[in-house]
Structure 1
Amino acid sequence: MTPERLRAFCLEFNASVEEFPFGPETSVFKVLGKMFALTSLDAQPLTVNLKCDPDDAVRLREEHPAAVVPGWHMNKRHWNTVTVSGVPDKLLRELIEDSYDLVVAGLPRADRLRLDRP
């Protein structure tokens, strides 16, 4: 997945926005003010920090040790850093969607209903 496709995919979700709170080189994708993905789109290799269920995070790290590691500068229990070129595109898309869904699940009920995601 290219940086452009990564950005476009993250922005396909309801109410998702791209912000730059850590400087112009770091894209932070949020839903209603809560981060679900963080990346430096110019980095080589391209990596993305994604929220993950703690049990799934451990499993993914074991299955893809070269491409999935504990989240860099994040809560290592809930976040993974994924090297984009190290996992299949389908898996990467699923991980991004799972991250978005986990963040949405933590939003107040009224916000979840506004997003049509109970």
Structure 2
Amino acid sequence: MSRDFVNSLCAALPGAEFSEPFGPATAVWKVGAKIFAAIGSEDRGVSVKCPDVETADMLRDAGVAEKAPYFHKSWVLVPFETADAAECAHRIHVSYDTIRASLPKKLQARLAPRD
């Protein structure tokens, strides 16, 4: 697992946009101007949004994820060291889908479907 792996996954999602709002060390992926994935300067893992706080708590309790620094309780950090590629991809897709569903309907309609 790496920053490059996450970036390639995120880049393939409809309407996903890359930015570096906190400087070149922090990679942020957005859909509709809302963050769905972020990689901090330490490259420890990728921070993603869960559908709810309970899911985030369950992932942390199961040891799959950690508390995401600087984010709300519904966000988790999926560590590069311990997460496998399939779990990381799933978490990124869930985060993307969660954020996309929160966008205004007009904006959602302009985005291509996710495969």
Same fold (TM over 0.5): yes
Alpha-carbon separation, structure 2, partners of 1:110 and 1:6 = 28
Q: Deviations over 1:76-101 (max 9, x none)?
A: 2x111111221221111000000000
**4+ aligned runs moved over 2 Å, structure 1:** none
* Rounded Cα–Cα distance in structure 1 between residues aligned with 2:32 and 2:26: 18
How far is 1:43 from its partner?
2.8
Separation in 2 of the partners of 1:2 and 1:83? 9
Structure-1 separation of matches of 2:3 and 2:76: 18
Moved more, 3-12 or 102-111: 3-12
SS at match of 1:22: coil
Higher relative contact order (CA 8 A, sep 6+): 2
SS in 2 for 1:61: helix
For 1:25, the equivalent position in structure 2 comes to 25
Distance 1:2 1:48 in 2: 9
Give the corresponding residue for 1:38. Answer: 38
- TM-score, with normalisation over the residues of structure 2? 0.89
- By how many angstroms is 1:2 displaced? 2.5
Aligned length: 112
The answer on 1:57 being equivalent to 2:51 is no
SS of aligned partner of 2:77: strand
Unmatched tracts of structure 2, length 5 or more? none
Q: CA RMSD in A?
A: 1.5
Corresponding position of 2:2: 2
2:71 corresponds to which of 62, 70, 74: 74
Q: Distance in 1 between matches of 2:31 and 2:50?
A: 16
Q: Hey, what does 1:83 align to over in structure 2?
A: 79
